[in-house]
Amino acid sequence: KCIIDAKNIVKIYQNGAEELKVLDDISIQVFQSDFTAILGPSGSGKSTLMNILGCLDLPTAGQYYLDGMDVLKARDNELAEIRNQKIGFVFQKFNLMPRLSAIQNVMLPLLYRGVNEKEAGETAKEKLSRLGLGDRLQHRPNELSGGQQQRVAIARAIAGNPPLILADEPTGNLDSKSSKDAMEIFRELNSEGNTIVIITHDVEVAEEVKKIFYIRDGKIYSDGG
């Protein structure tokens, strides 16, 4: 089953009179249970591609089907809905809500989806416990280490069992031990069938996954291709 099916994606930014083609005819497919990295240097177009794959921005041209949904046919309010239903995001800076506890952070996307408070609480507790944070449920982000915060963010991303986990430089703010732990968590989640795409400039991170797409100057190359 194809989770990401993006074809001939072009993104052009207008810089005054100048056009900057940041993504140049990118096609990429990610299948269910894939463990994939998109690897590229700074300025290669990773953030731009991440925003498009994450339904945060629209391409200038191309086609994008996410878990069978035609993303480019969606209206703005439907894009938010698609994001919420289809994608669990993990960010470099964790993006946790600072005033909410760990368990409340993980409950949030479930409550958005209409899951009731009790069930959301139980699911959040279960996800946090399996990521080794069973004794940190009531802690706020600033009471947790970076590695712990990223595990809260991963628990939040998987809470609703989305078809896609999309991680943008997930180890970018972590020390090497916490990075290894986070990659180990991704590996385990993938072995349970989760589809994971990691966007990174870090070769060591990319070496942990099963398939690498290389992005350079807005063009994409797959393993050996």
Nearest one of 184, 186, 182 to 174, comparing CA atoms: 182
Q: Tell me: does residue 46 bind ligand ADP (CB under 6 A).
A: yes
- The token duo for 179 is 């990075």
Closer to ligand ADP by CB, 42 or 116: give it: 42
Q: Tell me: does residue 171 bind ligand ADP (CB under 6 A).
A: no
Q: Considering the complex, what minimum distance in angstroms separates the CB of residue 91 from ligand ADP?
A: 10
Q: Considering the complex, what minimum distance in angstroms separates the CB of residue 47 from ligand ADP?
A: 3
Closer to ligand ADP by CB, 44 or 179: give it: 44
Q: How many Cβ atoms are within 10 Å of 62's Cβ, its own excluded?
A: 18
Q: Tell me: does residue 20 bind ligand ADP (CB under 6 A).
A: yes
Closer to ligand ADP by CB, 48 or 171: give it: 48
Cβ(37)–Cβ(205) under 8 Å? yes
**Residues in contact with 176: Cβ distance below 8 Å, sequence separation at least 6, in sequence order:** none
Q: Tell me: does residue 43 bind ligand ADP (CB under 6 A).
A: yes
Cβ(200)–Cβ(39) under 8 Å? yes
Q: Tell me: does residue 136 bind ligand ADP (CB under 6 A).
A: no
Q: Which stretch binds ligand ADP (CB under 6 A): 45-53, 69-77, 106-114, 117-125?
A: 45-53
- CA 140, CA 147: separation in Å to the nearest integer? 14
Q: Tell me: does residue 13 bind ligand ADP (CB under 6 A).
A: yes
Cβ(210)–Cβ(221) under 8 Å? no
Cβ(169)–Cβ(92) under 8 Å? yes
Q: Considering the complex, what minimum distance in angstroms separates the CB of residue 22 from ligand ADP?
A: 4
Q: Which stretch binds ligand ADP (CB under 6 A): 46-54, 80-88, 95-103, 127-135?
A: 46-54
Q: Tell me: does residue 173 bind ligand ADP (CB under 6 A).
A: no
- The token duo for 175 is 């020390």
Of 4, 28, 45, 174, the residue at the interface with ligand ADP (CB under 6 A) is: 45
| Ordered DSSP codes for 151-198 | HHHHHHHHTT--SEEEEESTTTTS-HHHHHHHHHHHHHHHHTT--EEE
- The token duo for 119 is 């069930």
Closer to ligand ADP by CB, 160 or 170: give it: 170
Q: Tell me: does residue 44 bind ligand ADP (CB under 6 A).
A: yes
Closer to ligand ADP by CB, 47 or 95: give it: 47
Residues at the site binding ligand ADP, with contacts judged by CB under 6 A: 13, 15, 20, 22, 40, 42-48
